[in-house]
Amino acid sequence: MSLEATTQYDEPLVWTPDQIHQLAVSLHNNILLLNDDIARAIRSVPANELAAWRSYRDEWAKWYGSFNWSSGLWGGTVSLIQGYATRLNAWAKKYVAWTGKEPSGTGTYDIKNSLADALSSPLLWAGLGAIGAVGAYLYLDRRQRS
């Protein structure tokens, strides 16, 4: 897991629900991987830290379990996921301190989005097409009346 890169986000112009979903799924997978690493190194983990890790993991699992298609419609969801990612980054650093090993996660939840990614969204293009069609209709209607 690339510890420095995991909380760096190249913010897209528009977060699509699919991008938000991908971000959540990627983070979820990395939390599961770190959880497996911690379980294998349980003797190296202080008891109070283990309890705190389980609390973080369970908090994430509860939120992720309620995540659905409408969750991706709110901009605050990205900030929330980024907050969990920052906390996961801190846990990964603690894991390194406890074991001297790198965690097995890949940091793939750090989705580098660009304007090109945002513009590749079919939902965005459908919306722009609808706006264009309405605009063309209004233009032609006004032109016929004059």
Asked if residues 24 and 81 have their Cβ atoms less than 8 Å apart, the reply is yes
**Residue 7 confidence (pLDDT):** 46
Compute the distance between CA of residue 56 and CA of residue 75 in angstroms, rounded to an integer.
22
Tell me the average pLDDT across 99-110.
Answer: 70
DSSP string, 8-68: -----SS--HHHHHHHHHHHHHHHHHHHHHHHHTGGGS-HHHHHHHHHHHHHHHHHHHH--
**Nearest residue to 88 via CA among 2, 21, 18, 17:** 2
Q: What's this model's pTM, rounded to 2 decimal places?
A: 0.66
Do 38 and 100 lie in a common domain? yes
Do 72 and 120 lie in a common domain? no
- pLDDT tens for residues 64-81? 998 877 766 666 788 888
Tell me the average pLDDT across 106-135.
Answer: 63
Which residue would you say has higher pLDDT here, 136 or 9? 136
**Domain of 16?**
5-113
**Residue 135 confidence (pLDDT):** 86
Do 34 and 58 lie in a common domain? yes
Do 68 and 105 lie in a common domain? yes
The number of distinct structural domains making up the chain is 2
Asked if residues 118 and 14 have their Cβ atoms less than 8 Å apart, the reply is yes
